[in-house]
Amino acid sequence: MAYCKSADAKNEKSLSDSRLAEWRKHPNLQGWMERLWRTKKFGDSKNPDPTTGEGYSNQTCLGDPFNQEELELTLDDIQRLRLDVQNKTLNGGLGDTTGFFFGDNADEEYKEHDIKFCDRAEFMLKNGYKVIYYSWW
């Protein structure tokens, strides 16, 4: 799920938060977001979590540290996402993201939806909102 909120809003979710998009079983998008989260949090998507010692794997599991984490997306992030969706490179050359709950590659099925999300997210960011990606399983 991705939603937006006022840039001056506190970290808590509020009733005024607005959903921009929802996905169900879009594994390569999830992998793309997790690599971005790891890069922002640990300096590189390949760097291990200092607490758990775990690094990125395209095979996710229930104990994955990205589960239920909020990822704030910038305009640059959205523009990179758009390019990866258009160029069919969401998996980052690392193979498709897989996991018990994830299903099969859905990049083509979600392509139009992903582009519309990028359009909405860019609009909200340019109008002073934060854009947040959040997932749980």
Contacts of 51 (CB under 8 A, 6+ apart): none
In a domain, 13, yes or no: no
Q: Quick check: 73 and 111 in contact, CB under 8 A?
A: no
Q: pLDDT by residue (tens digit) across 7-65?
A: 776 655 544 468 999 998 899 999 899 889 988 988 877 777 776 666 666 555 555 67
Q: Is residue 96 part of a domain?
A: yes
Q: To 10 degrees, the CA torsion angle through 61, 95, 88, 125? A: 40
Domain limits for position 36: 2-7+19-48+58-134
In a domain, 92, yes or no: yes
pLDDT at 82 over 90: yes
Average pLDDT over residues 60-87: 87
Contact 94, 28 (CB under 8 A): no
Number of domains in the chain: 1
